[in-house]
Amino acid sequence: MLGDKKIVFSGVQPSGNLTIGNYLGAIKNFSAFSDEYHCFYCVVDLHAITLRQVPAELRRRTYETLALYIACGLDPEKNTLFVQSHVPAHAELGWILDCYTMFGELSRMTQFKDKSAKNASNINAGLFTYPSLMAADILLYQTDLVPVGIDQKQHLELTRDVATRFNGIYGDVFTMPDGYIPQTGMKIMSLADPTSKMSKSDPNENAIVYILDDKDTVLRKFRRAVTDSETEVCRREGKDGINNLMTIYSCFTGKTDEEIVREFAGRGYGDFKLAVGEACADQLAPVREEFARLMADKAYLEDIMKKGAAEAASCALKTMRKVRKKIGFVN
Ligand code: ATP
Ligand code: LTN
C-alpha cells in the first residue's frame, strides 16, 4: 500500500493503434479507480518489442498511448502515468522472476501459442518469457488490483503463482494481486470474424474499430460488420455478430439486453448497426478531440512521462531493495 491507499496497476502496449476492444475492456474502466486507489498506468514498451517494431513508429505510439490515457479521462495529477522502459526496475525484476517461472508454465500460455503461430519467423525468447515481465510490472508496485480484458486472465494467474512461489521461499515479499475483469466488454470480438478477439494487430482494418477513427469510418465499419441471415436483434448462441454488437452498444449506452431488444423489435439489422455506430462515434468524439490537442503539445507529454517515471521508480525501488536482500545480492 502507498500511504493508506491500495494499488492499481495496468499496462497497454504501444504496438499498434488502439481499438475499441482496448477501450471497453481496459482503458475506459481505469479512471473509476483514481479516487480510491493509487493507480499506476504504464505504456509497456518493453513488451511491445517481443514483436518486431519500426523504431519511429514505436516512439510515436508511445506518445500516442500516453495521450490516449489522458484523453480517455486519466488525470495525470491523480494517476501515475509512465513509460515502462523509463523505470529499469521492470527489466531487472523481470529477469529475476524468469528464474522463478517454470518452462512448463510458460509453455502453456495461450497468448504465446497464438503469437508464435502468427509470427513463425520471430519466436524470440522475450515472446516466451513475456508473462514473467508482466508479473514483474504488477509485483513491483505491491499491486492489489489489475484491470484487464479477459485475454489476460491466464497471465494474471501465472503472476499469482510466481508470487506465491517467491513468497513461499523468502517470506511475504509481494502483495497477491487480483484481476478486475469487466462483466460487459471483457472480450470485444472482431467485426469481420466475431468468433475471434478484436485485435489491434489484425491486418484486416474492417475487423477493427480504432478509438481514433472518424465518425464516417466508424459508421462504415459497423455497417459492414458480419452478422447472420436472420433479422431479430437478440442475444442467442450462434448469433456471434449480433451478440458482439449488443455488447458494444450496451457498453457505450449503458442499456441492458432487454432494453436493446425492445428498442429494435421489428426493425432490421441496418437500423441497429447505425445506432451502434452512432453511439460509438459520439462517445469517442471528445476523446479524439482531446487526443489531437495533447499530441500537439509534446513538451507537456514529456513532462508527464518524467514525473510519472520518478514516482514509479521511487515506489519500485522499495520492492527492489527487499527483493535483492532476500535473494542474497550484496548491497
Ligand atoms: P494484440 O491484440 O495485438 O495482441 P492487445 O490489444 O491484446 O494486443 P494490449 O495493448 O497490451 O494488447 O492490451 C491492452 C488491454 O486491452 C489489455 O488489458 C487487454 O486485455 C485489453 N484488450 C485487448 N483487446 C481486447 C478486446 N478485444 N476486448 C476486450 N479487451 C481487450
Ligand atoms: N500483457 C498485457 C499488457 C501488459 C499488462 C501488464 C497488463 C503488460 N504488463 C501489467 C496489466 C498489467 C497484454 O498483452 N494485453
Tens digits of per-residue pLDDT, 180-221? Answer: 999 999 999 999 999 999 999 888 999 999 999 999 999 999
CA distance 179 to 255: 25
Q: Does residue 268 form part of some domain?
A: yes
**Which tens digits make up the pLDDT trace of 56-114?**
999 999 999 999 999 999 999 999 999 999 999 999 999 999 999 999 999 999 999 99
Q: Does residue 168 form part of some domain?
A: yes
User: Strand runs (DSSP E) across the chain, as ranges?
Assistant: 6-12, 37-43, 79-83, 145-147, 178-180
Same domain, 170 and 209: no
Which atom number of ligand 1 is nearest to the Cα of residue 148?
18
Determine the distance separating the centroid of ligand 1 and the alpha carbon of 149, expressed in angstroms: 6
Residue 118: active-site member: no
Instruction: Give the ligand with the smallest distance to the CA of 134.
Output: 2
Q: Does residue 119 form part of some domain?
A: yes
| 8 A C-beta contact, residue 51 and residue 119 | yes
Determine the distance separating the centroid of ligand 2 and the alpha carbon of 69, expressed in angstroms: 15
Q: Assess whether the C-beta atom of 114 lies below 6 angstroms from ligand 1.
A: no
Q: Does residue 130 form part of some domain?
A: yes
Which one of the listed residues 28, 197, 221, 239 is annotated catalytic?
197
Ligand 1 pocket: which of 22, 200, 245 to mutate (most atoms <8 Å of CB)? 22
Same domain, 165 and 314: yes
Same domain, 276 and 314: no
Average pLDDT over residues 236-243: 96
Same domain, 219 and 165: no
Instruction: Give the ligand with the smallest distance to the CA of 12.
Output: 1
Which one of the listed residues 5, 6, 187, 200 is annotated catalytic?
200
What pLDDT sits at residue 1?
53
Instruction: Give the ligand with the smallest distance to the CA of 46.
Output: 2
Burial (0-12, 13-18, 19+ Cβ within 10 Å), 295: middle
CA distance 80 to 9: 9
**Ramachandran category for residue 251: left, alpha or beta (phi over 0 → left; psi -120 to 50 → alpha):** alpha
pLDDT reading at 142 higher than 80: yes
CA distance 130 to 119: 15
Same domain, 64 and 108: yes
CA distance 6 to 306: 23
CA-proximal residue: ligand 1, atom 20 (nearest): 149
Same domain, 120 and 44: yes
Determine the distance separating the centroid of ligand 2 and the alpha carbon of 182, expressed in angstroms: 15
Determine the distance separating the centroid of ligand 2 and the alpha carbon of 147, expressed in angstroms: 10
Query: C-alpha cell of 298?
Result: 509534446
| 8 A C-beta contact, residue 152 and residue 136 | no
- Say whether 103 sits in a helix, a strand or coil: helix
Query: C-alpha cell of 175?
Result: 502483495
Same domain, 144 and 276: no
Which atom number of ligand 1 is nearest to the Cα of residue 10?
18
CA distance 152 to 11: 11
Q: Is the pTM of this model over 0.85?
A: yes
Same domain, 246 and 321: no
Which atom number of ligand 1 is nearest to the Cα of residue 44?
11
**What CATH number is attached to the domain comprising 84?**
3.40.50.620
CA-proximal residue: ligand 1, atom 19 (nearest): 149
What pLDDT sits at residue 163?
98
What pLDDT sits at residue 201?
83
Q: Does residue 39 form part of some domain?
A: yes
Range of the domain at 251: 205-292
- Categorize the per-residue pLDDT at 331 as very low, low, confident or very high, splitting at 50, 70 and 90: confident
- Say whether 180 sits in a helix, a strand or coil: strand
What is the residue type of 215? K
**Helix 269-295 / helix 55-71 crossing angle, nearest 10 deg:** 100
Average pLDDT over residues 301-309: 98
Same domain, 163 and 227: no
Q: Does residue 258 form part of some domain?
A: yes
Instruction: Give the ligand with the smallest distance to the CA of 26.
Output: 1
Residue 326: active-site member: no
CA-CA-CA-CA torsion sign (86, 18, 245, 289): positive
Same domain, 175 and 62: yes
Q: Does residue 198 form part of some domain?
A: no
Burial (0-12, 13-18, 19+ Cβ within 10 Å), 294: buried
What pLDDT sits at residue 2?
64
**What CATH number is attached to the domain comprising 254?**
1.10.240.10
| 8 A C-beta contact, residue 22 and residue 12 | yes
What is the residue type of 47? H
**Which tens digits make up the pLDDT trace of 120-130?**
999 999 999 99
Determine the distance separating the centroid of ligand 1 and the alpha carbon of 170, expressed in angstroms: 33
Residue in 205, 187, 185 with CA at minimum distance from that of residue 283 = 185
Q: Does residue 128 form part of some domain?
A: yes
Residue 152 gets which letter from DSSP?
G
Element (H, E) at 124: none
- Say whether 19 sits in a helix, a strand or coil: strand
Calculate the CA dihedral of residues 280, 18, 94, 158 and round it to 10 degrees.
40
Which atom number of ligand 1 is nearest to the Cα of residue 152?
20
Same domain, 133 and 246: no
Which atom number of ligand 1 is nearest to the Cα of residue 151?
20
Same domain, 260 and 172: no
Residue 115: active-site member: yes
Q: Assess whether the C-beta atom of 153 lies below 6 angstroms from ligand 1.
A: no
- Say whether 9 sits in a helix, a strand or coil: strand
How many domains is the chain built from?
2
Q: Average pLDDT, whole number, for the chain?
A: 96
